[in-house]
Structure 1
Amino acid sequence: MELLQLQYFLAVARLEHMTEAARSLHVTQSSLSKTIGRLEEDLGVPLFDRTGRKLRLNEYGNRFLRRAEKALFELEQGRQELSDLSNPEYGTLNLAVNTAGMLPHILHEFRKKRPHIHFHVQMLTTQEMVTLIHRGEVDFCLSSPPIEEDDIECQIVYIDPILIAVPAGHRLTDRSSVSLPELKDEWFVGVRKGHGTRDLLDSVCESVGFTPKYVYEGNEPARLSALVEAGIGIAFIPSTAMNLRDRMHYLQVEGHELVREIALLWRKSRYISRAALEFREVVLEYFGSISKKTN
């Protein structure tokens, strides 16, 4: 059994499509197919049920996948640890977020401390982040809501109040607060389902008797302010995303402690480089400074 066979098997198992897997690996489909075939010969069992170019892991494949992921994860951890020991000033920090409003400030502070460390950031849904954590493909995730699982370390870094943002001239601009039932006939702009804060807010609204009506659902929370300003709809806006220079009015929510918890997540068994440890310190310092300002 060869390392290359395991790497190819992982790509096919995750995509369950030979053409797409070949494209992701930058190899020909015939080469990939032959490599998977040799692996199945070595193991003595088929790993996939095949329907044309579409493949689906069978019971043998599912069991082998868990072992292969663990093996490749440990090898990658070893490579990262040796790289960190031999050249600690350089490297790559892989991040995933489902809340990104404060990320520019955090990355700016981190870059001042570690100018030669590259970082790669992905904006994902909560479930997509969990998948990458389990695979060991990210150093840290910045998530709202927190995620509690056996292999995930979860450190809550900030409790963020959520406000209602309305455009100038809206019927509520002379108010400082509003109850949720008063918003049942409003049109909302928000992020798509699957983003933690959206799911939380929908649940709270449903608990008081209505489901928010969305005129816009997207993947970019930063765009919501512009849509509110344009009068497209109102929005739930975390306090960390509030900008007093916007032509909007912000209201407190009456009768509910409407907050989101922001957490830093990482896989417990993952090797944490010195650069990653410093990034964690920057995150804690940043949110600590915000807490002092608001208290």
Structure 2
Amino acid sequence: MDLLSLRYFRAVARREHISRAAEELRVAQPSVSRTIARLEAELGVPLFDRQGRTVRLNRYGAAFLIRVERALDELDDGRRELHDAAGIDQGSVAIAAETLMPLAHLLGDFRAAYPGVAVRLLQSTPETMLDQLRTREVDFCVASQPLDGPGLETVRLRREEVQLVVPAGHRLADRERVSVADLFGEPFITTGPGHWQRVLLERLFAPTGRRPVIACEGDEPAATLFLIRAGLGIGLGPALAREATAHEPISWVRLDAPGCFRTLSLVRRADGYLSVAAARFRDVAVAYYTASKGAAED
């Protein structure tokens, strides 16, 4: 049993698909199939149930995967720790977020301070971020809503008010405050289910027994304000976006409803090795949001 066999097994177990695992590993499919067959022969039990080209992790494979994940994670952490101790390179950091907009200026500061650190960014839903933390695909998630899971460590970066955004000339543009009832029938520009804007919108409407009218939904929260500016509907926006769109022909109106806030948090696995590069990113992120205008409200 060698490390290559274990890595091949983990990839197939995660995907439950030989071809997709081979693509991820960048090797030929027959090589993966032969490696899994040798591993099963060595262990003396089948790890997958097979039906044609479909493979499903069986109870033996599920039990073995827990041990393999733990062993490979420990070895990967050990390699990073040795690299840090020996100063072989300046490392890398992988970050996932629902929207990349809150990271733009922060990462500019980070790259200026640590130009040798490789940065990898992924845009993910909260569900995907939890999986990426579980598999250690990323070091951190910048979450716009709580990420709940065992063994997670969370640092709050910023708590900011969320307001209603309407195009110039809209009937609500000159109001200081509006209620949710004022929004009945209005077309909303929002994100898809699961994203923080959509979750908050549905939570605001839930007590009324009504559902928001969704005129447009997508996976890019940063596009919402520009579609509102074009007059396609109204939407929700955080204070951070208001600062960045001060000169746009849109109006921001306070919502007279509880819980109209977004909390940005930095989330990582508490049991994972914190590399020097990752620790530096965490420190820069905390310092950036502590110093930024309108940072965390208590």
Q: Which TM-score applies when normalising by structure 1? A: 0.95
Query: 2:76: which partner in 1?
Result: 76
Q: Point out 4+ residue stretches in structure 1 off by more than 4 angstroms.
A: 291-295
Query: 1:158: which partner in 2?
Result: 158
State the Cα deviation string for residues 84-113 of structure 1 (Å, max 9, x = none).
122265221111111432201110010111
Q: 1:151 to 1:177 in 2, by over 3 A?
A: same
Query: 1:134: which partner in 2?
Result: 134
Structure 1 residue 36: Cα displacement:
0.3
Query: 1:280: which partner in 2?
Result: 282
- Which runs of 5 or more residues in structure 1 are unaligned? none
Which deviates further from its counterpart, 146-155 or 25-34? 146-155
**Distance in structure 1 (CA, Å) of the matches to 2:163 and 2:287:** 24
Which deviates further from its counterpart, 51-60 or 124-133? 51-60
Contact map agreement 2:289 2:295 (CA 8 A) in 1 = no
Q: 1:146 to 1:226 in 2, by over 3 A?
A: same
**Distance in structure 2 (CA, Å) of the matches to 1:87 and 1:216:** 49
**Distance in structure 2 (CA, Å) of the matches to 1:290 and 1:209:** 38
Q: Name the SS of the counterpart of 1:102 in structure 2.
A: helix
Contact map agreement 1:146 1:154 (CA 8 A) in 2 = no
State the Cα deviation string for residues 10-64 of structure 1 (Å, max 9, x = none).
1111111111111221111111100000111111111111122111111111111
Contact map agreement 2:92 2:278 (CA 8 A) in 1 = no
**Distance in structure 2 (CA, Å) of the matches to 1:263 and 1:290:** 15
**Distance in structure 1 (CA, Å) of the matches to 2:217 and 2:261:** 21
Contact map agreement 1:166 1:248 (CA 8 A) in 2 = yes
**Distance in structure 2 (CA, Å) of the matches to 1:139 and 1:245:** 36
Q: 1:185 to 1:115 in 2, by over 3 A?
A: same
Q: 1:277 to 1:81 in 2, by over 3 A?
A: same
Structure 1 residue 174: Cα displacement:
1.6
Q: Name the SS of the counterpart of 1:172 in structure 2.
A: coil
Structure 1 residue 148: Cα displacement:
3.6
Identity level (%): 39
Q: 1:292 to 1:188 in 2, by over 3 A?
A: closer
Q: 1:227 to 1:14 in 2, by over 3 A?
A: same
Structure 1 residue 66: Cα displacement:
1.1
**Distance in structure 2 (CA, Å) of the matches to 1:67 and 1:121:** 29
Query: 1:176: which partner in 2?
Result: 176
Q: 1:89 to 1:160 in 2, by over 3 A?
A: farther
Structure 1 residue 208: Cα displacement:
2.8
Query: 1:23: which partner in 2?
Result: 23
**Distance in structure 1 (CA, Å) of the matches to 2:296 and 2:12:** 49
Contact map agreement 2:159 2:261 (CA 8 A) in 1 = yes
- Which runs of 5 or more residues in structure 2 are unaligned? none
**RMSD (Å) for aligned C-alpha atoms:** 1.6
**Distance in structure 1 (CA, Å) of the matches to 2:294 and 2:172:** 30
Query: 1:5: which partner in 2?
Result: 5
Which deviates further from its counterpart, 37-46 or 189-198? 189-198
Q: Does residue 218 of structure 2 align to residue 218 of structure 1?
A: yes
Query: 1:289: which partner in 2?
Result: 291
